[in-house]
């Protein structure tokens, strides 16, 4: 692992630059760093959102025998830029009888939950933004704030479709949170830590990815996590809240301009976050592929961690898009049936199975 670039060299150097070279006090140094990191996070957030939107359009087009956007820019590359521009200059209106406070607050809550969860992703060795010892636990807690936003949006916009959608999404998200957490706990049993960086470190040896290390139970946990995560991100075939053929646009029917833009961004980023967490927890995050052959491992280690992480995450994003663009939508009672009758019991049994595997040392070391 010695060849993997450690991003903490950069951060330490920068901290030293501020405190030692420029002689700033701790307060100012940390303030400057926080502002810079915040800007970087928001920048990365919006850039990734744009990439995802473009990717979704192209991937969906190719699944549907179309070619997707081609008119704006070469191969349609500037289409998303044009869309964002349009969204920014659109009028923001308020529904007459809406609950104004909730109506305005809701999109911010959604985006807050999404950005919060986004900060937990490990980009590279030493490049974690938030890295607590209860990391995974906190991550699920913060990402749940988004549900409140969707619920308030549905309730606050005084639209009957929106209310139905809000109820649906609340029910759905609370249910799927269960299996999501159970799967993460399954992983935690094996890695022995809840800290995100620790989870990745635990997977960096030869054949170290959790999905290999924990074989059967890890694989089951991985699949259940992807399904539950897909539902958590409100994407097809679980896009009950939006369900455009039933509830027009569901909870964001009454939003325009950036209010709608926030929901839209958060939806795509949630997809990326789910893929990112799955990549981190089950596919080793930034850890390169290691097979125990020295020459091969060394070459792999020269590929930067961020490439590994992004590669894995986008592969999973593509997989989720493939699923979304293949299946019809489920009905609300079927979604709940799937969760409570199939996924939940499976995740619980799997948890026990993993405990047994770990206790008996049956995992691949």
List residues near other proteins by CB under 8 A: 60-67, 160-161, 164, 167-168, 236-237, 239, 243-248, 322-323, 325-334, 342
Alpha-carbon distance 254 to 154, whole Å? Answer: 9
Report CA-CA distances (Å) from 354 to 140, 181, 217, 228.
21, 14, 6, 19
The minimum distance between CB 246 and other proteins, in angstroms, equals: 5
The minimum distance between CB 28 and other proteins, in angstroms, equals: 53
The residue (of 66 and 100) whose beta carbon lies closer to other proteins is 66
Cis peptide before 237 (omega within 30 of 0): yes
The residue (of 278 and 287) whose beta carbon lies closer to other proteins is 278
Instruction: Assess contact for 312 and 283: CB atoms under 8 A.
Output: yes
Residue located via tokens 């992004």 = 310
* One-character DSSP codes across 251-311: GGTT--HHHHHHHHHHHHHHHHHHHHHHHHHHS-TTPPP--S-HHHHHHHHHS-HHHHHHH
The residue (of 3 and 66) whose beta carbon lies closer to other proteins is 66
Please give the backbone phi and psi of residue 227, each rounded to the nearest 5 degrees, phi first. -65, -50
The residue (of 68 and 206) whose beta carbon lies closer to other proteins is 68
Closest CA to 312 of 344, 338, 347, 287: 287
Residue 33, token pair as written in the block: 């760093």
The residue (of 168 and 312) whose beta carbon lies closer to other proteins is 168
The minimum distance between CB 60 and other proteins, in angstroms, equals: 8
The minimum distance between CB 13 and other proteins, in angstroms, equals: 45
The minimum distance between CB 23 and other proteins, in angstroms, equals: 58
The residue (of 24 and 323) whose beta carbon lies closer to other proteins is 323
The residue (of 128 and 235) whose beta carbon lies closer to other proteins is 235
The minimum distance between CB 298 and other proteins, in angstroms, equals: 34
The minimum distance between CB 220 and other proteins, in angstroms, equals: 12
Residue 254, token pair as written in the block: 């009454």
Residue 147, token pair as written in the block: 């549900």
Distance of CA 157 to the CA centre of its chain: 27
How many residues are recorded in the chain?
A: 365
């Amino acid at each position: 692992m010695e060849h993997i670039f450690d991003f903490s060299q950069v951060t330490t150097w920068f901290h030293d630059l501020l405190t030692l070279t420029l002689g700033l006090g701790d307060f100012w140094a940390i303030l400057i760093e926080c502002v810079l990191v915040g800007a970087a996070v928001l920048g990365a957030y919006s850039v990734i959102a744009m990439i995802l939107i473009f990717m979704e359009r192209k991937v969906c087009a190719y699944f549907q025998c179309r070619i997707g956007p081609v008119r704006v820019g070469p191969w349609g590359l500037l289409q998303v830029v044009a869309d964002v521009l349009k969204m920014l200059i659109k009028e923001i209106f308020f529904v007459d009888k809406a609950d104004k406070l909730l109506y305005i607050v809701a999109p911010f809550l959604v985006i807050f939950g999404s950005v919060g969860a986004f900060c937990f992703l490990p980009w590279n060795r030493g490049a974690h933004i938030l890295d607590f010892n209860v990391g995974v636990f906190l991550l699920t807690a913060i990402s749940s704030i988004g549900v409140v936003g969707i619920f308030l949006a549905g309730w606050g916009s005084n639209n009957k479709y929106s209310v139905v959608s809000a109820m649906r999404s609340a029910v759905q998200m609370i249910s799927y949170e269960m299996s999501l957490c159970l799967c993460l706990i399954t992983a935690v049993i094996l890695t022995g830590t809840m800290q995100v960086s620790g989870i990745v470190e635990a997977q960096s040896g030869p054949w170290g990815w959790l999905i290999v290390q924990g074989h059967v139970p890890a694989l089951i946990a991985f699949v259940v996590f992807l399904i539950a995560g897909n539902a958590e991100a409100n994407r097809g075939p679980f896009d009950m809240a939006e369900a455009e053929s039933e509830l027009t646009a569901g909870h964001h029917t009454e939003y325009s301009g950036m209010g709608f833009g926030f929901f839209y961004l958060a939806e795509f980023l949630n997809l990326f976050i789910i893929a990112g967490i799955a990549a981190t927890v089950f596919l080793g995050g930034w850890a390169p592929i290691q097979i125990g052959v020295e020459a091969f491992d060394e070459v792999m280690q020269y590929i930067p961690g961020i490439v590994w992480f992004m590669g894995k995450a986008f592969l999973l994003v593509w997989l989720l898009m493939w699923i979304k663009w293949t299946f019809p939508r489920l009905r609300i009672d079927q979604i709940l049936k799937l969760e409570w009758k199939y996924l939940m019991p499976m995740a619980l049994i799997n948890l026990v199975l993993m405990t047994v595997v770990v206790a008996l040392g049956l995992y691949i070391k």
